[in-house]
Amino acid sequence: MTVPVLDADGNLPQGDEKRRAVEAMFDRVAPDYERVNRVISLGLDRRWRARAVESLGLPVGARVLDLACGTGDLARDVARAGYDVVGVDVSAGMLRAAHTKAPLVRGDGAVLPFAARSFDGVVCGFALRNFVDLPTVFAEVARVLRSGGRLAALDAAVPANPFLRAGNTVWFRGAVPVLGRLLARDADAYRYLPRSTAYLPDAAALVACLADAGFTGAARTTMTGGSVQLLTGARA
């Protein structure tokens, strides 16, 4: 039985309900996920991922965790940059559909199945809003990073400019659900994804959350007119 990720009134799930619904949603969309992402991002997702990997600034051979790795598109970019990458995701469907040579582990971002100080870097691509407890996830990321280790996390954002914000709303709230229904046969999932930015704290709160988790130089930059954000920081 399909677990809806939005209720009949289009409301977002919370708490344990969110955890169950989001996991089931990603299991469903996994086979078409990368293809649909190419379309709804107009191909710009490649540029965003490249910017995130570049921001790590780690030496070749560094060990990097791809948090919420999905089907492995970001993990492949990390590997091409010369890093030793490991992927983790809670969705068994995503891991089954993954196209990467990296070792993959099923696990929850709030309780990562890795020893402390196991990684030199952590990347995360468009998954922060899907976690139930973001401060706990940031604390776990800090735990598995060595001192000086780097985090680079991408996610969607809402443009500050009113004109760009209106265009963003038309595309992501209007066109994306239609494309999701046509390309992935799952309109519910692609109604959820644009709306799920509401889970994210504002810019200042996100940076403060990183600092509270033990990251120095925590910063937030935006791309593509403010519709995408990149959070970076170094483990103290």
Q: Are 51 and 230 in contact (CB under 8 A)?
A: yes
Structural domain includes residue 177? no
Token look-up 């070749």 returns 60
Token look-up 């954002």 returns 157
Structural domain includes residue 165? no
pLDDT at 77 over 80: yes
Q: Which domain CATH number covers 70?
A: 3.40.50.150
Question: How far is residue 206's CA from residue 90's CA, in Å, rounded to a whole number?
Answer: 23
* pLDDT value for 1: 47
pLDDT at 222 over 80: yes
User: Average per-residue pLDDT in the chain?
Assistant: 94
pLDDT at 24 over 70: yes
Domain region containing 72? 15-159+191-235
pLDDT at 172 over 90: no
* pLDDT value for 191: 87
Mean pLDDT of 172-178: 83
Q: What is 157-221 written as a DSSP string?
A: ---SSHHHHHHHHIIIIIIHHHHIIIIIS-HHHHHHHHHGGGGSPPHHHHHHHHHHTTEEEEEEE
Under the banding of pLDDT at 50, 70 and 90, the label for residue 183 is: confident
Question: How far is residue 229's CA from residue 78's CA, in Å, rounded to a whole number?
Answer: 18
Tell which residue, 206, 55, 226, has the closest CA to residue 129: 206
Mean pLDDT of 4-31: 89
Structural domain includes residue 24? yes
pLDDT at 4 over 80: no
pLDDT at 61 over 90: yes
Structural domain includes residue 91? yes
Domain count, the chain: 1
Q: Sign of the C-alpha dihedral, residues 162, 167, 192, 129?
A: negative
**Cβ contacts of residue 181 below 8 Å, gap of 6+?**
187, 190
Structural domain includes residue 5? no
Structural domain includes residue 183? no
Reduced to 3 states, what is the DSSP secondary structure of residue 8?
A: coil
Tell which residue, 113, 135, 108, has the closest CA to residue 26: 108
- Bridge partners of 87, per DSSP, are 66, 104
* pLDDT value for 2: 58
What 8-state DSSP symbol labels residue 12?
P
Question: How far is residue 87's CA from residue 98's CA, in Å, rounded to a whole number?
Answer: 10
Structural domain includes residue 208? yes
Tell which residue, 77, 67, 60, 79, has the closest CA to residue 114: 67
Structural domain includes residue 218? yes
pLDDT tens profile 100-121: 999 999 999 999 999 999 999 9
What 8-state DSSP symbol labels residue 30?
G
Mean pLDDT of 130-148: 97
Under the banding of pLDDT at 50, 70 and 90, the label for residue 3 is: low
